[in-house]
Amino acid sequence: MCGIVGFTGNRNAMTAVIQGLSGLEYRGYDSAGIAWVADARLAVKKTAGRVDDLAKILPVAHPSLAIGHTRWATHGAPDETNAHPHLSPDGKIAIVHNGIVDNYLALKQTLGEAFLSDTDSEVVAHLIAREYRGDLLAAVEKVLPLLDGTYALAVIAADQPDLLIAARKGSPLVVGIADDATLVASDVVPILPYTKEVVYLDDGQVVVCRGKSARFRAAGREIEVATTTIDWSVEAAQKGGYPHFMLKEIFEQPAALRNLVHHRVKIENNAPAFNLEGIELPTDYFRGVGRIVLIAQGTAYHAAMIGRNLIERTALIPSYAEYAADFHYRDPLLDPSVLVIALTQSGETMDTLQGVRKARDAGCKVVAVVNTVGSTIAREADGVFYMHCGPEIGVASTKAFTAMVASLYILSLRMAQMRRTLDPAEIMRRTLDLAQVGPRLEAVLSTANYIRQIAGRYAEAKNFLFLGRGTGWPLAMEGALKLKEVSYIHAEGYDAAEMKHGPIALIDENMPCLFIALLGRRYGKVRSNIQEVRARRGRVIAIASHNDDQIHEVVDDVIYVRAESGVMNSLVCAVPLQLLAYYIAAAKNCDVDKPRGLAKSVTVE
């Protein structure tokens, strides 16, 4: 959580940092600040508001060196004093920090100085100042080993007008090397307007940036690093005419999933050829897998629950979905025959990262399904399956969810091929069905206005239940999560079978219930559950199959979707759930892209 940016070079560093921070607000947005060097002094501006508020209070200035921060509060209230950058007592060193210094209280005690803020971060500026004798790199390298916990740090000094030092341990940090400048940032978005050539810092690495030159170091020595070229465009990280990133990203799903399928599957000699680039595990390995554990948090966990069903049914491997945090702390029984699949959009979620480390320590292979190229989990896993669905900036995850489900389907079909658990003709049939994902999702999106009207009728609700069976259950959980996080309406998602074991007591005329009620093996049971809700005067919205000509008789509102197969059902049902949450939140004037108290990348436990 928190976003940091630093810039040194031949352009206006203030503009670069402010624009960069705007692109990082998904990481936290309860306060923001910037420091720059002017006339051998550090100038600092901070606000308890957002980056836009910060931009309004800045003087006109053209510094060539600046650092900035957008905060998600952990230690200390989200006010101006606790906002970064933090300064040393003499005002000559400024730092911005993403992460948590676990031993900050002990460090503060050893210094015995007064501190202005309640943060864990301020101590870093004090420590560097204590060591600083004109060589900023030496001072930083002396302090880093003292810090327990995690950090992405950027440091500047009043008497070094073009020097920026940054370091990483446990929090992401990317370095962009342009023709006339160097940038450091928590992700690539602030860097894209300047260059597509980046270096993902590893834990323990330090970068020394001076204008356009960047030197990399580890363990006190210079090192060579690999550069990566980013294929995201600047436009991909902008709203492109949509009022919110969330809506834009919902509408990007047909293209994102089309690209994913196109990249990962080709039809050759009348059979599908799957491209698992990034996962260099031999066929024999997949034949020997005894158990699969899918680990993730939040929305990604709901995708994991769907993936569990897909893999079991397709590749016939016992599979389980687990919250990564619980997996990490529960001490699950693991051995090398267990394949762990970690799902994460950001690739930085701390709970998931801990789960990955636990699995690797136990000798399991770990495959990560990730969106953000070069992220920590992508680099620590044994294999990575990139979804390449473009930057997801809206805090509520949408396109990454459907891309994860499609990715797991592709993986499961390939495993089925290798393990010969499905007839080749059936694999072909399912692949061709998946290739229809673009038009199928477009068809649902074409009903967006209709879904907006339905949303208008439920915007005043105080509570909501989402219910479904089979894969309808994780979808129900996802629908509830989307609604609560963007509209602040209390919502729960249940397996519809579970309703009679307790939640049914909640139902009265004020309780809207959304059912995933597609035709199929569980349809009759779901219809009965709908009747039970109606008998208690609950209001019912159903997501139903396009050819269900009876459901409208027993529900208040119905959203029809078209799909013929299991996985497509999940994909086409996800979209109305996302749209419903979005339009209800928009009707309530909620800050859809930046819901209160949240941050997109959850890098704390």
- Is residue 407 a contact residue for ligand F6R (CB under 6 A)? no
Minimum CB distance to ligand F6R, residue 212 (Å): 32
Q: Which of residues 469-488 bind ligand F6R (CB under 6 A)?
A: 481, 485
**Are 382 and 404 contacting, i.e. CB atoms less than 8 angstroms apart?**
no
Alpha helices in 333-471, H assignment, sequence order? 350-361, 376-380, 399-419, 424-434, 437-445, 448-458
- Among 343-351, 415-423, 447-455, 553-561, the segment contacting ligand F6R (CB under 6 A): 343-351
What are the CA-CA distances from residue 468 to residues 457, 516, 544 (Å)? Answer: 22, 5, 11
Backbone dihedral angles phi then psi of residue 253, each to the nearest 5 degrees: -60, -40
Q: Which is nearer to ligand F6R, 579 or 602 (CB)?
A: 602
Minimum CB distance to ligand F6R, residue 300 (Å): 4
Question: How many Å apart are CA 294 and CA 63, to the nearest integer?
Answer: 48
14 burial level (CB within 10 Å; 0-12, 13-18, 19+): buried
- Kindly state the helix (H) or strand (E) to which residue 581 belongs, with its residue range: helix 566-587
- Is residue 186 a contact residue for ligand F6R (CB under 6 A)? no
Backbone dihedral angles phi then psi of residue 310, each to the nearest 5 degrees: -65, -45
- Among 60-68, 239-247, 291-299, 544-552, the segment contacting ligand F6R (CB under 6 A): 291-299
Strand, coil or helix: 293: strand
- Among 130-138, 169-177, 190-198, 295-303, the segment contacting ligand F6R (CB under 6 A): 295-303
Minimum CB distance to ligand F6R, residue 346 (Å): 3
Minimum CB distance to ligand F6R, residue 288 (Å): 28
Q: Which is nearer to ligand F6R, 5 or 396 (CB)?
A: 396
Strand, coil or helix: 282: coil
Cα dihedral 354, 358, 360, 362, rounded to 10, equals: 180
Q: Which is nearer to ligand F6R, 250 or 572 (CB)?
A: 250
Question: How many Å apart are CA 297 and CA 152, to the nearest integer?
Answer: 23
**Are 445 and 575 contacting, i.e. CB atoms less than 8 angstroms apart?**
yes
Strands 338-344 and 365-370: parallel
- Is residue 300 a contact residue for ligand F6R (CB under 6 A)? yes
Question: How many Å apart are CA 573 and CA 570, to the nearest integer?
Answer: 5
Residue among 245, 96, 77, 78 at smallest CA distance from 594: 245
Question: How many Å apart are CA 390 and CA 249, to the nearest integer?
Answer: 9
Question: How many Å apart are CA 477 and CA 491, to the nearest integer?
Answer: 9
Q: Which is nearer to ligand F6R, 182 or 349 (CB)?
A: 349
Minimum CB distance to ligand F6R, residue 399 (Å): 11
Cα dihedral 325, 328, 334, 339, rounded to 10, equals: 50
User: What would the two tokens of residue 537 be?
Assistant: 């005067």
Which position among 19, 82, 299, 376 is part of the footprint of ligand F6R (CB under 6 A)?
A: 299
202 DSSP 8-state letter: P
Which position among 341, 396, 516, 558 is part of the footprint of ligand F6R (CB under 6 A)?
A: 396
Q: Residue 56's CB: how many other CB atoms inside 10 A?
A: 9
Give yes or no: 525 in active site. no
Q: Which is nearer to ligand F6R, 141 or 187 (CB)?
A: 187
Minimum CB distance to ligand F6R, residue 345 (Å): 3
Q: Which is nearer to ligand F6R, 299 or 471 (CB)?
A: 299
Which position among 344, 487, 570, 603 is part of the footprint of ligand F6R (CB under 6 A)?
A: 344
Q: What is the DSSP string of 470-524?
A: TTHHHHHHHHHHHHHHHH--EEEEEEGGGGGGTGGGG-STT-EEEEEE-SSTTHH
- Is residue 578 a contact residue for ligand F6R (CB under 6 A)? no
Minimum CB distance to ligand F6R, residue 385 (Å): 14
Q: Which is nearer to ligand F6R, 317 or 396 (CB)?
A: 396
- Is residue 272 a contact residue for ligand F6R (CB under 6 A)? no
Number of residues that bind ligand F6R (CB under 6 A): 15
Q: Which is nearer to ligand F6R, 529 or 601 (CB)?
A: 601
Tokens 């397996």 sit at which residue?
495
- Is residue 297 a contact residue for ligand F6R (CB under 6 A)? yes
User: What would the two tokens of residue 189 be?
Assistant: 């978005």
- Kindly state the helix (H) or strand (E) to which residue 300 belongs, with its residue range: helix 298-315
Q: Which is nearer to ligand F6R, 124 or 250 (CB)?
A: 250
Query: Which positions from 433 to 472 touch ligand F6R by CB under 6 A, shown as an x/- string?
Result: ----------------------------------------
Minimum CB distance to ligand F6R, residue 397 (Å): 3
Q: Which is nearer to ligand F6R, 19 or 253 (CB)?
A: 253
Query: Which positions from 352 to 371 touch ligand F6R by CB under 6 A, shown as an x/- string?
Result: x-------------------
Q: What is the number of the residue whose Cβ is closest to ligand F6R?
A: 298
Which position among 82, 195, 345, 402 is part of the footprint of ligand F6R (CB under 6 A)?
A: 345
Give yes or no: 2 in active site. yes
Minimum CB distance to ligand F6R, residue 90 (Å): 39
- Kindly state the helix (H) or strand (E) to which residue 329 belongs, with its residue range: helix 324-330
Catalytic residues: 2, 600
Residues of this chain that interact with ligand F6R (CB under 6 A) are: 297-300, 344-346, 349, 352, 396-397, 481, 485, 601-602
